[in-house]
Amino acid sequence: MTETVRLSLDDARALSLQALARAGLTSDHCEALADLVMAGQIDECHSHGLYRVLSCADAIRKGKVDTAAVPEIFDQAPGIVRVDAKFGFSPLAFRLGLPLLQEKARTQGVAALAINNCYHFSALWPEVERLAAAGLAALAMTPSHSWVAPAGGTKPVFGTNPIAFAWPRPGPYPFVFDFATSASARGEIELHRRAGKPIPEGWAIDKDGAPTTDPEAAMAGAMLTFGGHKGSALSAMVELMAGPLIGDLTSRASQIFDAGAGVTPCHGELLLAFDPNLLSGGHAAEHAERAEVLFDAIVGQGARLPSQRRYAARERSHANGSVEIPKSLHDDLLALLG
């Protein structure tokens, strides 16, 4: 059993804030990052929880991230907000661009937020959830580093390229999904390697392009997309839409920019926000009920909605007023306070 430490929500947030501040980030960045770290931890998405503070500090130590970057907002077009993150972490750029994105979606019907030159940090679900909380549907995507081979190929081109979507629902829990277009997360392969366990078939190929279940061979070869040529096509779409479309890097270009430092990818992110009332011709309430019928048909047959597990964790964390993290992580965070 892993030894764990239970922290109150206030203490966990304070610890994150202190560690981030000690790493050199300005208070605006600290607040934006701590909110996301806490959202991840509360939902028991451990890789996006307090653990992220460590990789954040690592990226700063390697001299890649501008810890005092002040994102610049451009009202680029009636339907477009662009935020230049100026090579800082992405969450503050998102936070600063959000109000204008929402305003544009409500007046234009559909609007885009393009974040450029950001060190990507968070999962996408907290961002699309924010838009759903404002009554908007939302779609988000971002490239990463080129680790994933296209269908029919053997060499890495794509990133893990997540896509997230949110649909507003009555009550606190929107319909949300957020998944990598790769068959697995890169971190999952690394976890198998550390545990000395083979990876499932279909996750990766070795450097000669042969299917492999050996995590070492997979890391030296290429990951695969989920869903064969369809997943590969979607991954290409993420490259194009959250890369060249918004004037930013592909996963390959981002990896070249990284120059072997191995920090969190620097590139762009695209968020789209949709106003159900304008798009439905003013009949959003009636059609929201139609969406609920769809959800009932899924849940009613015993299938799960994508974020149900995460929402159950959230209820648990709030009921407990606390979160649990491995003692080793707690020690590492305390060490950052030095």
CB-nearer residue toward a second copy: 173 or 274: 274
CB closer to a second copy, 49 vs 276: 276
Query: Which residue among 280, 324, 332, 336 contacts a second copy (CB under 8 A)?
Result: 280
Q: Which residues face 269 on adjacent strands?
A: 115
The Cα 34–Cα 48 span in angstroms is: 11
Tell me the closest approach of the beta carbon of residue 277 to a second copy, in angstroms: 10
Q: What are phi and psi of 89, to 5 degrees?
A: -70, 155
The 152-191 site mask, x for binding a second copy (CB under 8 A), equals xxxx-x-----x-x-x-------x-x-x-x----------
Read off the DSSP letter of residue 227.
Answer: T
* Residues 253-272 contacting a second copy, CB under 8 A: 253, 272
The residue to which tokens 């936070």 are assigned: 95
Nearest to 38 by CA among 65, 58, 8, 61: 8
Q: Is 283 a catalytic residue?
A: no
- Position 194 contacts a second copy (CB under 8 A): no
Phi/psi at 337 (5° precision):
-75, -20
Euclidean distance between CA atoms 177 and 189, whole angstroms: 22
188 is catalytic: yes
- Sites for a second copy among residues 197-236 (CB under 8 A): 226-231, 233-234, 236
Burial 251-286 (b: 16+ CB within 10 A, else e): bbbbbeebeeeebbbbbbbbbbbbbbbeeeeeebee
- CB 86 → a second copy: shortest distance, Å? 14
Residues 46-85 touching a second copy, rule: CB under 8 A, are: 74, 76-80, 82
Answer yes or no: are the C-beta atoms of 172 and 182 closer than 8 Å. no
Catalytic residue selected from 120, 127, 184, 188: 188
Catalytic residue among 16, 29, 48, 127: 48
Q: Between 70 and 288, name the residue whose CB sits nearer to a second copy.
A: 288
Bin 254: left if φ > 0, else alpha if -120 < ψ < 50, else beta. alpha
Is residue 145 flagged as an active site residue?
Answer: no
> In this complex, which beta carbon is closest to a second copy, that of residue 16 or of residue 168?
168
Binding mask 12-51 for a second copy (x = CB under 8 A): ----------------------------------------
Active site residues: 47-48, 188
